Amino acid sequence: MSNWETVIGLEVHVQLATASKLFSGAPNRFGAEANRQASAVDLGLPGVLPVLNEAVVHMALRFGLAVEAQISPLTQFARKNYFYPDLPKGYQISQLDHPIIGPGRLEIVVGDQAKTIGITRAHLEEDAGKSIHDQLPGLTAVDLNRAGTPLLEIVSEPDMRSAAEAVAYLRELHAIVRDLGISDGNMNEGSMRCDANVSIRPRGERTLGTRTEIKNLNSFRFLEKAIEFEVERQIEVLEGGGRIHQETRLYDAQRNETRSMRSKEEAEDYRYFPDPDLLPVAITPKMIAEVARSMPELPRARRQRFCEQYGLSEYDARQVAADRATAAYFETCVAIAEDPKLTANWVMGELASILNRDELGIEASPVPAAALGTLIARIRDATISSKIAKTVFDIMVAEGGEPDAIIEARGLRQMSDSGELERLVDEVIAANPAQVEQFRAGKTKLLGFFVGQVMKATGGKANPQQLNDLLRGRLDGGG
Ligand code: ADP
Ligand code: MG
């Protein structure tokens, strides 16, 4: 183990899935033609006033309840002043002193270790526009469609101790905001992005080391890689007698390295002050109670329910209850299959590997949940063996169709006629006297050979258990 301890805190920006923007009626949608979704408010034209979108407040409260956070009775917006071409007002409306969501917490699981990560705060802010450098030769273009898009910035305590913990935390946040329906969590489109603050300190040391901040990581893998690289880099600097500078760094995925971008601004540099255009917002207990009534089941509660209701292990429950879509698929499937463990194995095994291969979400699974449930039920009632089930599954993936119809049409039913099976066993034994002798002399591994021979003769349709019993009886019994 290294002599250095890694310390990580994450700032996660979640784009809220509202119909309109944070302070204007312009649509909040990705991918429109440039500057067609920016109103006078988003353009920062003089003489217009921002009006708070109430839906945003509700979404923030849903998040706050999900992470058991304190909720500010009075929340306030502030101006964060800086100049940039894609920020026409010259300031971003954000929150500083009275964020809507105060301290909360989130449980993560790494390996089989559960751990609680502190959430410092979550505040509302508007996104900026986009500067585009590669469309007009020699010029920079500005697209203000994104200006004014509502963001919830979730800041964690420096509680994570490895890249794996940071990834687990981000995954859990991702699942929660999707379950809450407050964001699509689409990382490719920037609906969820993350800044990682990373420092190291000698093991046992209590005070924190100087941190760097890696900006705008937009995938779980980049988060992991960027932290791993940055930790190695900091170790090298410190062990070489140097010191870490507090700075903002960029992760270059192509080269898998972080590079210095600029030294870090302090809050004072932004001359924050309360926005005089926006009144403080009172969050009443009644509003909170209303939001509480509409809360869905969240990943952690669902995992617990899956353990209790289906008798799944923690590990299996974590896999199939990870997100709502997978959980729904599992529950439809298991209602028909009536075997939770076997169903979990199929969903996380055969099904997951097909979905991975074809890069599909489970919502778009080529095999519907009910069909997989029926297939598993046929293993359970011994119509087919697990091995034949895989064949049927492959056909369902490639051609569609119901498992029962496929089993009948292709004659894949397990042999139920034990007289027929006995006859084949006897034939195989008679045809292989040398192997029979070796088996009886103690080379019992040869059982597999006999099983294989009979399976071949039946086209894989013998009931494996029945076949095993028959063979053992014949071979041991000397018959
Ligand atoms: P800002 O980046 O805007 O200055 P903060 O000072 O509140 O904001 O810190 C931002 C993030 O950095 C938080 O997630 C916090 O947990 C994390 N952080 C602060 N100090 C350290 C440190 N020494 N090492 C790692 N992370 C840290
Ligand atoms: Mg920061």
Q: What is the residue extent of each domain of the chain?
A: 4-291, 297-409, 418-476
Mutate to test the pocket of ligand 1, among 121, 207, 211 (most ligand atoms within 8 A of CB): 211
**CB of 123 closer than 6 A to ligand 1?**
no
CATH number listed for the domain at residues 418-476: 1.10.10.410
CA 136 to ligand 2 center in whole angstroms: 32
**CB of 231 closer than 6 A to ligand 1?**
no
pLDDT tens over the chain, length 479 residues: 689 999 999 999 999 999 999 999 999 988 889 999 999 999 999 999 999 999 999 999 999 999 999 999 999 999 999 999 999 999 999 999 999 999 999 999 898 788 999 999 999 999 999 999 888 899 999 999 999 999 999 999 999 999 999 999 999 999 999 999 999 999 988 899 999 999 999 999 999 999 999 999 999 999 999 999 999 999 999 999 999 999 999 999 889 999 998 776 676 789 999 999 999 999 999 999 999 999 999 888 999 999 999 999 988 998 899 888 999 999 999 999 999 999 999 999 999 999 999 989 899 999 999 999 999 999 998 899 898 999 999 999 999 999 999 998 988 888 767 788 888 899 999 999 999 999 999 898 899 999 999 888 888 888 888 888 889 888 886 54
* Residue 365 CB partners (closer than 8 Å, separation 6+): 329, 351, 354, 355
- From the list 288, 277, 381, the residue with the least C-alpha distance to 338 is 381
Please tell me the distance from the alpha carbon of residue 458 to that of residue 452, in angstroms, as a whole number.
Answer: 10
Q: Which ligand is nearest to the CA of 266?
A: 1
Please tell me the distance from the alpha carbon of residue 259 to that of residue 252, in angstroms, as a whole number.
Answer: 7
Half-sphere exposure of 209 (CA within 13 A, CB side): 26
CA dihedral 304, 305, 307, 311 (to 10 degrees): 170
Q: What is the DSSP letter of 176?
A: H
- Using CA atoms, how far residue 151 sits from 118, 141, 345, 392, in Å, is 20, 23, 38, 47
**CB of 157 closer than 6 A to ligand 1?**
yes
- From the list 243, 239, 217, the residue with the least C-alpha distance to 228 is 217
Tokens of 157: 């305590």
